[in-house]
C-alpha cells in the first residue's frame, strides 16, 4: 500500500493533535446549551476520526452510525443512497455529524436535510478534511480538521475501492493507481 502513496499530507500525530483542538472547541458549544450530543458517524470512512475525536470529549455523548454512499471509484455520482440507517430517533436531538471528507458537499447536505426532516433540533458538522475546490452545492462544515487541495486522498478511514482505510495517515494516492 505504501508504494501507492505519492505524498503524506497529515501524520497520525498531527491528526491526533488536531482532534484534541477540535474536541475542545466542539464541547464548549455543547456545554453552553447543556445538550448531550448524538455523535453520528457516516460509515465507513469516518470511524478512525470519530474514535480519535470522542476520546477527547469530557462531556457525555451518545454514538450512532449511518451508512450512505455517493462515490464509485474516484468520482462522486451525486446520488446519495442510505445503505444502513440509524437505530434511534433523532427527533429533538442535537446531532454532531462526523464525516471523513467533504468534496462536492452533496452527501453531507442531503444527510443534514434528512436529519432535520426527521425532527432533529440541531445538526452540526465536523469533517476531518475539506476539499473546498470540489464544492458543487452550498455546504459548510461547522468544524474542519484540515483544508486540502483537490486531490484524491486515502488513509485514516478514507478508501479507494475499499482499500487503504487502515493506513494511519492521510496521503495522496498516486494517479497511476486509479487512472
- Residues designated catalytic: 103
Please report whether residue 67 would count as binding ligand IMP according to CB under 6 A. Answer: no
Q: Quick check: 5 binds ligand IMP (CB under 6 A)?
A: no
For ligand IMP, the binding residue among 95, 101, 115, 170 (CB under 6 A) is: 101
Q: Does 141 bind ligand IMP (CB under 6 A)?
A: no
Instruction: From 3-11, 19-27, 29-37, 94-102, give the range in contact with ligand IMP by CB under 6 A.
Output: 94-102
Q: In the chain, where does DSSP find H-type helix?
A: 12-33, 47-54, 106-117, 175-178
Distances (CA, A) of 145 to 89, 100, 129: 28, 9, 6
Report how far residue 67's alpha carbon sits from residue 41's, in angstroms, rounded to the nearest whole number: 8
Shortest distance (Å) from residue 64 CB to ligand IMP: 16
Residue 48 sits in the site that holds ligand IMP (CB under 6 A): no
Q: How far lies 127's CA from each of 53, 100, 148, in Å?
A: 11, 5, 12
Amino acid at each position: 500500500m505504501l508504494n501507492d502513496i505519492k505524498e503524506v499530507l497529515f501524520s497520525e500525530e498531527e491528526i491526533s493533535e488536531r482532534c484534541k483542538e477540535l474536541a475542545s472547541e466542539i464541547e464548549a458549544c455543547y456545554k453552553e446549551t447543556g445538550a448531550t450530543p448524538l455523535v453520528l458517524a457516516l460509515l465507513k470512512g469516518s470511524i478512525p476520526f470519530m474514535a480519535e475525536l470522542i476520546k477527547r470529549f469530557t462531556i457525555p455523548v451518545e454514538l450512532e452510525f449511518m451508512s450512505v454512499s455517493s462515490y464509485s471509484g474516484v468520482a462522486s455520482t451525486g446520488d446519495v443512497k442510505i445503505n444502513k440507517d440509524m437505530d434511534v430517533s433523532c427527533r429533538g436531538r442535537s446531532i454532531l455529524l462526523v464525516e471523513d471528507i467533504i468534496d462536492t458537499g452533496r452527501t453531507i447536505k442531503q444527510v443534514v436535510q434528512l436529519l432535520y426532516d426527521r425532527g432533529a433540533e440541531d445538526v452540526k458538522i465536523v469533517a476531518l478534511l475539506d476539499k473546498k475546490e470540489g464544492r458543487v452545492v452550498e455546504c459548510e462544515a461547522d468544524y474542519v480538521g484540515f483544508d486540502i487541495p483537490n486531490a484524491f486522498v486515502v488513509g485514516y478511514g478514507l478508501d479507494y475501492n475499499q482499500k487503504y482505510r487502515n493506513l494511519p495517515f492521510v496521503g495522496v494516492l498516486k494517479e497511476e493507481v486509479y487512472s
